[in-house]
Every structure is written in C-alpha cells, then in structure tokens.
C-alpha cells in the first residue's frame, strides 16, 4: 500500500524525471514470459520433429544417453564417464544406487573418433598436471575430465515443504526419475502455470537434459496443475517423467484444499483419453485470475534455479526453445577450457541470442537454417517489434554474418553498459549469480532488470556463444495496449526506483555505466 501511496504522491515528479526510462522499460521490459499468460491457444506444432529420436528408456540420442548404473562397463565414452563418476565419487552424495533411481543421465559429447575417451584416460593418469605452463598458456591446458572441470557439490533432490516469504513451496514435489550428478549436465530452470505445460515436449525434444520447473498453483488451480503434471508424465513423451522435476508454490493466503503426498503424484496414472488439461481452459475462470492475483514470476524463477541438481543452470522462460545439443556442446566447451574468455578473472555468464519465428515456421535446428530464415524474413531477432533495444545482443550483426562452425565457442565478450545498459540477457550461469527480486511480478514487467544491474556492478562478463541460440515458440509478438498492465508497470517502476535501487546500491555498490 505504501508503494501505491508513494506512487500517487510522486506522479508529477515521475512523469517529468523518469519518463524517458519508463518508456523504454515500459515497452520492452519482459522477455519470453512476455506473451500469452493471457491468450494464445496451445499448439502442438513440434510434437516430434523427426530429426531427433524420442527417448523411451533405450534411446540412442546424441545429447542424452541412458545407461543403467550397473552397465558402466560398456565401451562407449558415456560409460567411461559413468565409471569415472562411480570410482571418483568419494563425497557426500547419496544418490548412488538410491531408491527407485535405476537410470543415470549423462550429458556428454559424442567424441569424434574416440578422442575424448583418450583424453579422459590421460587426465586420470595425470589428474593435476596443470603446472607445466604459465601465464598466457593458461588457454591451452591439459585435457581434463568434465568432473574435474566442473567442481561442485551434490544437492538433495528429496521432496520437502518450506515457506518462502509469503509463499508455501513444495520443492521437488514430483522429481525426475533419472539421477544426475552436479557436473554431468545443465539444468534448464523455469516457471509456469499449468496452461503452459504444452511447451514441455517441444522443449525437451531439443534440450534433452534436466528441467527444473516451478509451477504457480494457488487455490483451485492446484488440482488442475496436478492433472496437467499427471498428463504430461503419463500421456506424452517419456522424457517428461525422466527429466523434469516439478516444484509447486502458492501464496499462504491461497492454500489449496488438499495437498497429496509426493509419492502419490509420482505413482498416479492418468486417463489420457481425457486430453491435455490445458486445452480450452477459460483463463478468466482460473483461480489466479478470478482472485486477481499477480504472477510471482521471480519467486518461481528462484525456486527452480536454486533447486536445480546441476552446477550449471539455464534460467529461461518456458516458451524459449534452445538449439539442439546445447547442454552437450556447452559442457564440452567447459571441459576443453580452450576459450581465452573463460580464463579471465571476472564472474561470467554464457549468453544466448534469441529469435522469433512466424507462426507457420518450425524453429530452426541450427544456425545455418536460422540465418536462412532471417534472410527470408520468417525469423526475426526477439522482440524486434516490441523493443529492439531491450534484447539486442552485442555484435548481433557480426554474429549473424559468422558462418556456423563445429562445437561451441565464445563469440564475443559483452558488457551491460553503453547501448546495452537495459539489456535483459538470457544466459547459462550458476547459482552463484544474483537471484531475481521476488517483489517484482510478471505483470509489472522489468522483472529481470534489477538482476541485470547487480551483474553490471559485479563486473560480469557476458560471454556470447557462437553456434547456439534460443527461439521463441512460433508466432511473432505484436504490441497490444493493456491499460491495467500499464498501471502495474508504472507501480513497478516506482518500486524499483524508490525502494529497490537504493537497496541494490547499498548491497552491491555502484559502477560507472550501470543502470537498472
């Protein structure tokens, strides 16, 4: 309430002083989540692109390989990684042979000609031989295993209930069935209400690695959310139950009537002929909308990110689909350690360029195809029509002109300053990066700006990746006037300016060129 009061009292002041900033934030502000928390009917446009095989327990997909924990003696590079893990696993992790977790997930690179197996063997013989070179030679260190390159601690994936500010959270409420070690993969972390779960399958087809998703489910949206989770796990791609961990949260003022135990949801079946529970949902009748609740986007983002089982996390919005094989290629780049930018002392995150494609087009599978689509006008840079300044990535023109190459590299090191001072990048990072401010809502926009400010003050390097990218679920956004949302946006901007910014200055300090 005090915020509203402040907002009103300072109306004139804000108009004159902040208008410029507001206008910019106003129009652009949010990313991926941008869209259709409101309308847009679900489309299953990418149920099964035939280029990737659907995992069904024996899949031979490139990025994700399953192997039972007892079969680590097979001769593939994946098996070597498993053996490596098993023998070198002397720390606190209790997953090994844990109850009901027969499958293990490994996201490794397919080595061309077995080079990697050699590298792994070698690095086990000389695990700490990094002292042979100095200074600039850092760049070409001895090969090492992924486990050594990603030093991390395992995290509990047990279901638990906890309070988080005004919210109750059911962490790991419906856990993924596969086990993964913290160094083995990258987790896509995201948030949604149940009407967005139709994105899971097309997302998984491309990602094929763990997803940690926080579902907002107040009041009677809770049973509907459970049905949507049951449907996703039982009626579509087996990747969902294998790789997706669902967390559920709701305001303590909107607790559902009943919360079944976690094991019940895991073992539940669903009558698939009833169809997906997110089809033909009357949005006006959803509990959240009937009660006029705001969507607590950053509570969801933080829950999903903090609960990710892996060291590397990819906080994204569920409608942003990554280019295929990203986890594998990313981890291989980390293991290689041959990118000079990786050895700079600054904290760093790995940025993906984002694009939109028109409704009739399938998202491109590779950069070559993407560039063709950009030239043909069937793809455009993300939010070009809403706010081209907000999501523009440094050197984007050069990025588009650079031909696709093998593997993944750092294309350019950007900063969130100059003409990128309001940049809202989407990036692979870790849980050491600043979190998102939980007072900001999706409706109020600017929900990633305060994190961006913190990253700037901390002097983060934004390492832009060359051959990987994100594509928004098909359909190009156009600007729609929404006066209620405009009002909330104005309130949010006042909150950021009057309350959050002064806090951030105390907590992170200031740096020339940084702004929210």
Ligand X SMILES: *[C@@H]1O[C@H](CO)[C@@H](O)[C@H](O)[C@H]1NC(C)=O
Contact partners, residue 316, CB within 8 Å, separation at least 6: 32, 188, 189, 190, 322, 426, 470
State the Cα–Cα distance between residues 360 and 476, nearest whole angstrom: 10
Q: Which is nearer to ligand X, 160 or 264 (CB)?
A: 264
Spell out, one character per residue from 222 to 261, where the chain touches ligand X: x when CB under 6 A holds, - when not. ----------------------------------------
Nearer to ligand X, 50 or 506 (CB): 50
State the minimum distance, in angstroms, from the CB of residue 135 to ligand X.
5
Q: DSSP string covering 97-140, please?
A: T-TT--EEEE-----GGGHHHHHHHHHHHSTT---S--GGGGGG
Q: How far apart are CA 289 and CA 271, in angstroms?
A: 27
CB of 456 to ligand X, least distance (A): 33
Min. distance of Cβ 333 from ligand X in angstroms?
Answer: 18
Binding-site size for ligand X (CB under 6 A) equals 21
Q: Considering beta carbons, is residue 291 or 369 the nearer one to ligand X? A: 369
Q: For 288, which DSSP code?
A: H
Beta-carbon neighbour count of residue 478 at 10 Å? 7
Closest distance between ligand X and the C-beta of residue 466, in Å?
Answer: 14
Closer residue to ligand X (CB): 67 or 129:
129
Q: Which two tokens stand for residue 359?
A: 């409704």
CA dist 225 → 214, 222, 230, 429 (Å): 11, 5, 9, 29
> What CA–CA distance (Å, rounded) separates 223 from 228?
9
Compose the 87-126 pattern: x for residues touching ligand X by CB under 6 A, - for all others.
---------------------------------------x
Judged by CB under 6 A, the chain residues 268 through 297 that form the site for ligand X are 271, 273-275, 279-280
Show contacts with ligand X in window 362-381 (CB under 6 A): 365-366, 368-369
Subset of residues 27 to 56 that bind ligand X, contact rule: CB under 6 A: 53-54, 56
**Torsion-angle region of 113 (φ positive above 0: left; ψ -120 to 50: alpha; else: beta):** left
Is 405 near ligand X (CB under 6 A)?
A: no
Euclidean distance between CA atoms 191 and 486, whole angstroms: 23
Candidates 134, 267, 419, 483: give the one binding ligand X (CB under 6 A): 134
Q: Shortest approach of ligand X to residue 131 CB, angstroms?
A: 8
- Contact residues toward ligand X (CB under 6 A) are 53-54, 56, 58, 126, 129, 132, 134-136, 142, 271, 273-275, 279-280, 365-366, 368-369
């Amino acid at each position: 309430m005090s915020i509203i009061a402040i907002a009103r009292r300072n109306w004139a002041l804000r108009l004159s002083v902040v208008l410029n900033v507001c206008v910019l934030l106003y129009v652009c502000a949010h990313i991926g989540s941008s869209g259709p928390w409101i309308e847009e009917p679900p489309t299953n446009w990418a149920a099964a692109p035939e280029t990737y095989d659907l995992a069904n327990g024996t899949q031979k997909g490139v990025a994700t390989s399953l192997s039972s924990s007892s079969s680590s003696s097979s001769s593939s590079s994946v098996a070597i990684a498993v053996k490596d893990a098993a023998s070198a696993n002397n720390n606190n992790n209790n997953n090994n042979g844990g109850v009901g977790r027969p499958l293990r997930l490994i996201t490794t690179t397919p080595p061309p000609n077995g080079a990697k197996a050699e590298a792994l063997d070698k690095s086990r013989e000389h695990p700490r031989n990094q002292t042979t070179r100095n200074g600039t030679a850092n760049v070409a260190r001895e090969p090492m295993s992924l486990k050594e390159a990603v030093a991390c601690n395992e995290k509990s994936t047990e279901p638990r209930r906890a309070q988080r500010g005004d919210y109750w959270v059911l962490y790991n409420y419906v856990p993924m069935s596969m086990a993964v070690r913290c160094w083995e993969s990258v987790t896509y972390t995201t948030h949604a209400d149940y009407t967005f779960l139709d994105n899971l399958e097309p997302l998984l087809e491309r990602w094929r690695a763990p997803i940690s998703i926080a579902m907002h489910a107040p009041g009677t949206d809770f049973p509907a959310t459970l049905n949507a989770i049951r449907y996703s796990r039982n009626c579509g791609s087996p990747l969902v139950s294998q790789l997706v961990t669902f967390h559920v949260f709701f305001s303590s003022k909107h607790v559902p009537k009943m919360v079944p135990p976690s094991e019940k949801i895991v073992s539940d079946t669903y009558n698939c002929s009833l169809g997906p529970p997110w089809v033909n949902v009357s949005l006006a009748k959803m509990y959240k909308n009937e009660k006029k609740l705001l969507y607590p986007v950053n509570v969801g983002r933080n829950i999903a990110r903090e609960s990710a089982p892996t060291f590397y996390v990819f906080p994204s919005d569920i409608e942003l689909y990554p280019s295929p094989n990203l986890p594998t290629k990313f981890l291989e780049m980390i293991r290689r350690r041959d990118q000079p930018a990786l050895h700079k002392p600054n904290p760093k995150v790995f940025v993906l360029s984002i694009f939109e494609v028109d409704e009739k087009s399938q998202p491109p599978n590779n950069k070559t195809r993407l560039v063709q689509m950009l030239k043909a006008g069937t793809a455009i840079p993300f939010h070009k029509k809403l706010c081209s300044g907000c999501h523009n990535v440094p050197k984007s023109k050069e990025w588009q002109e650079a031909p696709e190459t093998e593997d993944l590299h750092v294309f350019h090191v950007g900063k969130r300053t100059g003409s990128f001072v309001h940049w809202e990048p989407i990036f692979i990072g870790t849980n050491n990066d600043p979190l998102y401010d939980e007072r900001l809502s999706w409706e109020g926009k600017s929900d990633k700006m305060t994190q961006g400010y913190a990253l700037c003050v901390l002097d983060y390097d934004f390492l832009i990746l060359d051959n990987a990218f994100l594509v928004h679920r098909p359909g190009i956004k156009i600007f729609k006037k929404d006066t209620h949302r405009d009002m909330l946006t104005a309130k949010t901007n006042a909150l950021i300016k009057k309350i959050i910014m002064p806090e951030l200055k105390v907590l992170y300090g200031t740096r020339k060129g940084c702004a929210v």
